[in-house]
Amino acid sequence: MVSVDMADADRLMAELRQTAGELQRELRALASASEQLTAITVEDAKGAVALTLAANGSVESLTLDEDWRDTIGEESLGLAVSSCYQDAIGQRSGQWMKAYSESGDQAGDATPIPAPEPVQLGDPSSSWGIEGRAMLREMYAAADAEQQDFLAHRAQRARQARDGVNAAKTITVTREGDTITAVKLDDRWVRNTNDEVIEKEIVRAMNNVMAMSARERENKYAGFPAIEQLAKIGHNPHELMRRMGAIR
């Protein structure tokens, strides 16, 4: 017969509290690094285009020099914008890594984790405990069967170039994974549109594409229900122990 006594439960809870404390320190360092991020402005080599990334990573503004058409030519605007964006993303990554490193050094001790609420010990040898573990094994097997397809799907998504087109079909923004790799503009539209409208429409198009990327991250388990279910349980130690029969 398998049994769980109070000493076992206390030891397990102590280990969970220690892990939670370490996780809390890590999360605090991540949050602190994110709070230290500032807006980044990048110009192209000829000073024709200036792009600003907000602290949250969205495109805050795009500014075209009054002589940009003569400086780089209308046909080069999309390339200049995408190059500025990629440069800004690189600088933002460096800024974040520096802030994270400094935050980790200064994190100190985590705020003490309060003791968990008392739980009622279970009986892993009971029929409901045995049934619960059997369901977990089935869930794991189903998730394992989905794993290869899930990993291939994620890798394919990360490599796949996908286009986002604005309503007027004058701006095409290409992204691979979470990164914008190209901006293409309709030549006639650029030629016949004033700079202020061009600036606003490009910013809107780029942010719309990145919003699509964010939605995909939120729904990353779509089509893989077993992995999604297992991930939810894995983030809830209390529920995991209950299903194993360790607690009620």
* pLDDT tens digit sequence for 128-173: 777 877 888 888 888 888 888 888 877 877 778 889 999 999 999 9
189 three-class SS: helix
Distance CA 100, CA 113 (A): 23
Superfamily of the domain at 6-111+120-244: Nucleoid-associated protein YbaB-like domain (3.30.1310.10)
Q: Measured between alpha carbons, how far apart are the two ends of the chain, in Å?
A: 18
DSSP reduced 3-state for 45: coil
CA pseudo-torsion sign 119, 125, 126, 130: positive
pLDDT recorded at residue 29: 59
pLDDT digits (tens, 9 = 90+) for 83-120: 999 999 999 888 877 777 776 555 555 555 555 566 66
